[in-house]
Chain A
Amino acid sequence: MSLLLQILSRLMTMAVTLFGVAVIVFFVIRVVPGNPIAMMLPPGASVEDIARLEALYGFDKSIPEQFYIWLSGVLQGDFGTSITARQPVLDLVLSRLPATLELSVMALLIAIIMGGFMALAGTRMRGTKTEAIVDVTNGVALSVPDFLWGLVLVLLFGVLWPVFHISGRVSPALDLPFVTHFYLIESLLRLRFDIMADLLSHMFMPALALAIPLAAVIAQLLKQSLKETLHLDYVTLARTQGYSENQVILREALPNAVLPTLTLIGVQFTFLIGGTVIIERLFSYEGLGNMAIDAVINRDLPLIQGIVIMFALIFTVVNRLVDLTYALLNPRLRNG
C-alpha cells in the first residue's frame, strides 16, 4: 500500500473515532436531568425568558437537528458558546489546553527518567537483591493509580515537608507578562527564571503523581526488553570485543530494547493524559481537566462537548505520533 493511501486510511480511522465520540457525548449529555438554562436564571424567571434563552442555545430543536447544527459548526471551527462563561467554547478550551499539555509532557519526562533509570539499574544488577528491590518497588508503583499517589504527595509535601506547592498553577502574587497560555515555555523563552521556578514548583507534585504509574510501566517493559536483548548474539559479540557490562547495556542493548516498548508506552501515556482530570482537581491546577469537572457539575453542555472532543483529539494525535516515532526509529521500516 502506498504511503499516501496509508496516511489517508489512518486519517479516516481517526475521523470515524472522533465522530463516534462526538455522537456519544452529544446524545449522552442530552439525557442529563436538570435544565441548565433554568439553572442559569434567577428563580423567578418567566417561562418566556427560559424559552428565549433555550432558543438562543438551540435547545428548542430536536436532538438530531441540534447535532447537525453543532457538527456543521464544529467543522467550521465554531464549537458553540459556554453556558456558564458566556464565551466561545473554543476560546475557553484553547486557553486551558496549554496548562494540561505542559503538565502531561512534564509528567512524561519525569516518567521516562524515573522508569528508564529503574530499568537500567534493575538490568545492571540483575540476579541480585537490588533487582528484587526494584521489582517490588515497581510492583507497588504499578498497582496504585495516580489519584492515590496524588493524595500521598499532598500529604507528604503539602503538610509534612512543605517544599512544593500543592495548589494552583502559579502563585497569585506574580505578574505574568505572557502572550500565550504556555506559561512554562514562555517563561523559559523570556528568560524569566523566577516565574519558571514558581511554575515548576507548582507543577512538580501533580506531574509526579501522574508520572509514577507510567514510570512503573516503562521500568517493567524496558527491563524485560533489555534482558531479552542482552541474550542476543550481537551483544555477546560486543562483550568479546572488550566492551564492559555498562557499555554493552547502554550502547548495544538499550537502543534495540526501546523500540518494542514504544507502542505500549504510548498507550499508557494516553491514560496519563486522562488522569489529568482528577489530578488537576486534586491540586487545583487550572487546566482542561479541572474545567471539565466544573462543566459537568454545572451542566454546561457545549463546554462539555468541546472538552471531550479536545481530549479525544489529543488521544488520537498522540497515538499517531507514537506510530510515526516507531516508524522513524526502526531502520527496517525507514528504508524498506
Chain B
Amino acid sequence: MSFLTINNLSAHIGKRKILRDVSLSVQAGEVCGLVGESGAGKSMIGKAVLGTLPRAIIATGGEIILDGENLQDLTPTQRRQVIGAKTALIPQDPLTALNPSRRVGAQITNRLVDILGWSKSAAQHRALDLLGEVQINDPERVMLCYPHELSGGMRQRLLIAAAFAAEPRLIIADEPTTALDVTVQKQILRLIKEMQNRYGTALLFVTHDLGVVAKVCQSLLVLYEGMVLERTTVQDFFTGPLHPYSRALLETTPKYTDPTGSLTPIPPQILDAVRAEIVAYDQAHAHV
C-alpha cells in the first residue's frame, strides 16, 4: 500500500495547462524525485498535495490519496488537519520561509503545541533534540535567536528540524538546496538523507538537479510542461532511461569525468518531439 497515490491530476490557470494527467505513487519510507526544468510543474504537484496551490490555479480531475484517504473528499478543515498531522514541507528559500518577527525556537515548537496538542515542555525538549540532530551547535542559544541573526545554512537546518519535528509520514522537499551556497548544499543534502533514514519518512523531492536525485532518491519522475514523461527507479534511469528526453537530460548533465567537455543543450528535435506529445495530449482532451 503506497502512502501517497496521485491519479490523473490535472491543473490549469486560465487557458494554460499546468499539470497534465499526473500520476505517481510513493511508498512509505520511499524517496521519490520530481525532476524537470523550471516551469515543468514539479513544485505544483507538491503544492497540490499540501493544498497550497495559488488561488488562480485550478486543480481538476484525478485524486490525491494520502494514507488511504482521498483528500478531495475531505472538507477544507479536515484536509487541513490531515495535512498538518501527517505531512510537512521543507521550503526552498530559508530566508523568506521563516517569520522575521518570531524567535526560531518558537517557530518549531508552536505547531507542536497549537496544532498537535503537545505540552510546552515536551515541545521545548523536542526542539532542542532536533537542533542537535541537524547539527546546530549551542541549541539553547540558537532557539532564542531571530532568523536574521542566523546564516542561510543554519536557517535551512532549522527548517529541516521543523519539518521532522512532528515525525510526519510524508515530507515534500521543494528544491531545498537551490537557494544555498554550493559548499553548504552537500551538507544539507546529507543531512536530509540522514534524517529521512532515521525517521523512515516518505519524501517527495522536487529538484532540477539530477546529481541530487542520484544521491538521495530511490525512484523518480521526469516532467515536462506538466506531463509525466517517464516514471522509473533511479537505478534503471541512470543505466538506461526509456524516453528520449530523459536520455537527453542525462547527456546535458556536466560530468566530473569529462571536465573539458562542452555543455550540450537538449537537441531541438527531441524538444519538438516532446511538444508534439503534449499537443497530441491536449487535442485528445480538448473536449473535456
Contacts and interface: CB of A to CB of B under 8 A. Distances in A.
Q: Do A and B bind each other?
A: yes
Interface of A: 127, 232-234, 236-244, 247, 252, 255-256, 259, 331-332, 335-336
B96 A240 contact: no
A242 B148 contact: no
Interface in B98-112: 98-101, 111
Contacts of A127: 55
Interface string B110-139: 010011100000000000000000000000
Contacts of A242: 80-81, 83-85, 111, 115-116
Interface string B75-93: 0010011011101110111
A239 B52 CA distance: 8
Ranked nearest first, the 9 interchain pairs of A and B with the lowest CB-CB distance are A242-B84, A241-B111, A233-B97, A242-B115, A233-B96, A234-B99, A240-B89, A240-B50, A331-B146
B200 interface: no
B89 A255 contact: no
Given A127-B55, A233-B93, A237-B91, A252 B81 contact: no
B52 A236 contact: yes
A241 B118 CA distance: 14
A126 to B, nearest CB: 9
A252 B99 contact: yes
Contact of B115 (A234, A241, A331, A332): A241
B51 interface: yes
A240 B99 contact: no
Given A237-B89, A243-B80, 9 more contacts: A127-B55, A233-B93, A233-B97, A234-B99, A236-B52, A242-B85, A243-B111, A256-B99, A331-B100
A234 to B, nearest CB: 5
A240 B100 contact: no
B149 interface: yes
Contacts of A335: 146, 149
B77 A255 contact: no
A234 B101 CA distance: 11
Contacts of A239: 50-52, 80
Contacts of B98: 234
Nearest to B148: A332
Contacts of B115: 241-243
Contact of A243 (B51, B85, B96, B114): B114
A243 B81 CA distance: 8
Contacts, number: 68
9 contacts: A232-B96, A234-B100, A239-B51, A240-B84, A242-B85, A242-B111, A247-B114, A256-B101, A335-B146
Contacts of B101: 255-256, 259, 331
Interface string B47-67: 000111001000000000000
A47 to B, nearest CB: 71
| Residue among B51, B88, B101, B146 facing the most chain A CB atoms (10 A cut-off) | B101
A242 B79 CA distance: 9
B44 to A, nearest CB: 13
Most A C-beta atoms less than 10 A away, residue of B81, B87, B111, B116? B111
A241 B84 contact: yes
A165 to B, nearest CB: 42
A240 B52 contact: yes
A243 B51 CA distance: 12
B99 A332 contact: no
Contacts of A331: 100-101, 146, 148
Contacts of A240: 50-52, 83-84, 87-89
A237 B52 CA distance: 9
A252 B84 CA distance: 16
A328 B83 CA distance: 36
B237 to A, nearest CB: 29
Contacts of A232: 96
B80 A244 contact: yes
B64 to A, nearest CB: 14
A256 B98 CA distance: 12
B173 to A, nearest CB: 12
